[in-house]
Structure 1
Amino acid sequence: MASSPSRLFAEISTAERPGSTRVLMRRAVVLGASMAGLLAARVLSDHAEEVLIIERDASEADNEPRPGVPQGTQVHGLLPAGNLQLDRWFPGFTAEAIEAGGTLPTPESARIYLNDVLRPPAPPVAGIGALVSTRPFLETLVRRRTLAVENISLVTGQVKGIDLSSTKVTGVRYTPTGADEPVTEAADMVVDGMGRSSKLSDWLEDAGWPAPELKRMPIKLNYATALFRRDTDISDSMVVVAQTTAGKGRVARMGGINAVEDDRWIMLIAGYGDDRPTRDFDDFKARCRRDFPSVFGDIAERAERLGEVITYHQADSRRREFHKLSRLPGGLVAAGDAVASFNPVYGQGMTSAMLHASCLSAHLRSGASPAEPAHGYFERVKVVVDAAWQISTQADLELPHVDGPYPKGYRVTSWLGDLVFAASMKDQELNARLSAVTMMLAHPMSLARPSTLLRAVKAKLSR
């Protein structure tokens, strides 16, 4: 894998379906029916005779939030790159989701405000959209499509640990729902899709293996979300994103509105540190009117509210550096938030998980043996994590309460990012290139190409 990060990212994020696959193992076991777990199971179904998902929540996830997803009630964003991967692994997925009630806004119907200034819409990319829905709606569809694959099955229970030989993973121990004693499922490959609270590092250390280094960036993010009945007499908004950056008397905040299934709006407002929206609806309305573009206040004050205001707090962004491990049990991988979770206001979580599944596919199609350490997989995942981490932490490091860690070359990349961003407000081509990065269709390093920087410098000089 000597390709540059930009080229490797392009290979991972392709919409092209694998031409041919080989069965490499008898059984693969996936821990968790998260988005990461479901997509990993779909990929593994091409390479295993049997794929077993072990999920702790007994719920069928019929358009309702799962207990294991505490943020499932909040606004979720599926970036265009994630939409592409869903159609890649489940052909016709977007059309099915739209028929079921999801929406596919055009770039012109999405309004993005930065410090109360409306950004120009991103130029449309042929065949690429961003499906908009609630998280439970999307997860239900993905779960149904995954379990419709003939060699994938799901059981419910609490995972207790993994079994390891001197060289590789051999099985998973779990207690089935309703049982008193754990059972062991043999496995040729195990995928950890258990999210931020994964215990894989502890299990590795307990068995005498090194655990990945855990890096954290404190963000102290506070969410509040409410659902409303859509009403075109109030607004025709489909997608609205409003970000205020810290500085010059401004307080860092983020707001979002999505037009979702069942003719509803889901609206979020967020602050940092001690700026905490509450469950009180009067407080919610006041913040919408005071701190965000007028459409937020219009909806909060005039639209029919559906349910209570729900809050959520995330203390940090984090990543586990699996790619740095020199010793790793064969057949063991992690995906999604079990590897890295980011500031959720940038909508990278679900899309990253889907790209991790494509990393797994590329790894297994590369000729790598499932019995060997999955270093090639984690090198690919690093490229995806680096891309999302750079986008989100670059902005988070500007928050007054965040004091690092600062990545190598932070000042240079920050200056270049500001240069390209400012030029993109007037230059449609630069707007398209920047949008491709923020939509996770391209790696951030693509913005460092000489042609992009020269164009940005010319735009600055012309001003």
Structure 2
Amino acid sequence: MRRAAVLGGSIAGLLAARVLSDHADEVVVLERDDVAPAGDFGGDREPRPGVPQGTQMHALLDAGRRRIDHWLPGFATELVAAGAALADTGTDVHSFLDGRRKVLTGDIEMVSATRPFLEAHLRRRVLAFDNVRLVNGRVRGLAFTGDRVSGVRYADAADAEDVLTADLVVDATGRASRIGTWLREGGWPEPGMRRMPVDLGYATALFRRPAGPHDATLAQSLANLPDGRLRLGTLGRVEGDRWVVLVAGYADDRPGRGVEEFLLRCKEDPAAPFRQLAEDGEPIGEPVTYRHPDNRRRDFHLLDRFPAGLVAVGDTLASFNPIYGQGMSSATSHASCLATYLESGQSPRDPAWSYFRQARTVVDDAWQTSALNDLKLPHVTGPRPRGFTVASRLSDLIVRASVTDPVIHRRFLDVMHMRSSAKTLMRPGTLLRAAWATRQRDTGRVDAAV
């Protein structure tokens, strides 16, 4: 290709640009936000306006970390050297279910850092490629020539409209993408969008690192309260010798903006690390809230017509419940699908059906992990798929067994870190072992101190 255009300088867009740099003479990343120079990536960066959730806690799952290191060797090491935290599930990633810490099992690593810090490092590395450049502008629409997309219409910083021609356009503008409108304006059908209302609300606060000892570099808590509410929390060490803490709840149990309420929710969490940080830590500023009304996915694979020269990545494809941390790692998976498509030798002058079929597999798996748990919530409406009741009970069995059985917990983590398909947890051998482990625990044969 002579030129490829990426719409959006998000993590998904930057990874797509890195993949395209191996296949195009020139890659142009069109970003609406006026981002800082590539070399400026200190720990006090503010999130981009185009990333409303950029103030919230982010952790890069193991699969995502490995894929980024493949395209940008040494990336995780660079982050850690600059202050981010690398945590291993065998030592300092502690998961809690109703206050009980799960058995540790290792060899899975995740990176804890603020979103602006991580994104700025990624931007610097990607823009270091000679054939990748960033253009500040707002997308106005797609340009069509015959049965293909031939470029993008955009407004520059002075609000003057221009057309950027391209052999391939990648939409990475996120869950609010207007790709359906752009396609309709060009005479093409819109992809159907599925929405699952979840009404999740969460708040994130920064803390100065307390003086006392903290065993966990990252901690995750899921608590079923006696009145039926489900609360979630995550905390981790980040750059700048700080800790970031997220608390979350659904519907009317969403956290507010006040520091006192935030600290109270931490103190009420049955997991010890949250109570300890609430007692020892010093909050930095006010908590920042964010609301995630629904999960979304666009079903490009169901269209019967689609123009050549266009693909979509990241939240444009699917946006999941963020509490499971799948967003950034899903973006790395979409980049892998894009790489496979480009390496296959297929021409961008043909519709990218093979890309969308492969991306659908990635989306289906992440959607299943998120949606199965979301549909268990009493306030979540929407059709339950056939077999939901059985699948829900088996899923609960796996989660309970993962508290005490290291083999089950490892298989559970492989799925949660997007290293294995969710279907692997439904294998007969895994379910039988989970049933045995749960029975052992319920009959008191497992050390209660685990």
TM category (shorter chain) comes to: over 0.9
The answer to whether the 8 A contact 1:201-1:212 is kept is: yes
Shift of 1:42: 0.3
Aligned length: 434
User: Are residues 1:318 and 2:296 paired?
Assistant: yes
Aligned twin of 2:446: none
Gapped runs of 5+ residues in structure 1?
1-24
What is the 5 A alignment of 1:325-404?
325-404=303-382
TM-superposition CA deviations, 1:338-358 (whole Å, max 9, x none): 110111111000110111000
Shift of 1:59: 2.0
Q: Distance in 1 between matches of 2:141 and 2:270?
A: 46
User: Are residues 1:447 and 2:439 paired?
Assistant: no
Shift of 1:437: 0.5
Aligned twin of 1:120: 103
Q: Distance in 2 between matches of 1:245 and 1:297?
A: 17
1:31 pairs with 7, 10, 14, which one? Answer: 7
Distance 1:455-1:302 versus aligned 2 partners, 3 A rule: closer
The answer to whether the 8 A contact 1:214-1:319 is kept is: yes
Distance 1:114-1:188 versus aligned 2 partners, 3 A rule: same
Shift of 1:234: 5.9
Aligned twin of 2:162: 183
TM-score w.r.t. length of structure 1:
0.90
Shift of 1:294: 3.8
TM-superposition CA deviations, 1:162-200 (whole Å, max 9, x none): 0112311101011111x2320001110000000011000
Aligned twin of 2:69: 87
Aligned twin of 2:183: 204
Shift of 1:461: 5.9
Shift of 1:116: 1.8
Aligned twin of 2:46: 64
The answer to whether the 8 A contact 2:114-2:239 is kept is: yes
The answer to whether the 8 A contact 1:217-1:405 is kept is: no
The answer to whether the 8 A contact 1:330-1:373 is kept is: yes
Q: Distance in 2 between matches of 1:408 and 1:163?
A: 42
Q: Distance in 2 between matches of 1:77 and 1:396?
A: 20
Aligned twin of 1:164: 144
2:88 pairs with 106, 114, 121, which one? Answer: 106
Shift of 1:442: 0.5
User: Equivalent residue of 2:55, what SS?
Assistant: coil
TM-superposition CA deviations, 1:300-329 (whole Å, max 9, x none): 343222122111111111111111112111
Distance 1:238-1:460 versus aligned 2 partners, 3 A rule: closer
Amino acid at match of 1:242: S
The answer to whether the 8 A contact 1:234-1:298 is kept is: no
Q: Distance in 2 between matches of 1:262 and 1:334?
A: 35
TM-superposition CA deviations, 1:40-69 (whole Å, max 9, x none): 000011111110000000022733311110
Q: Distance in 1 between matches of 2:126 and 2:385?
A: 38
Amino acid at match of 1:350: M
User: Equivalent residue of 2:54, what SS?
Assistant: coil
Q: Distance in 2 between matches of 1:209 and 1:439?
A: 36
Amino acid at match of 2:77: A
Moved more, 449-458 or 278-287: 449-458
Aligned twin of 1:137: 117
TM-score w.r.t. length of structure 2:
0.93
RMSD: 1.7
What is the 5 A alignment of 1:426-445?
426-445=404-423
Aligned twin of 1:44: 20
Gapped runs of 5+ residues in structure 2?
444-450
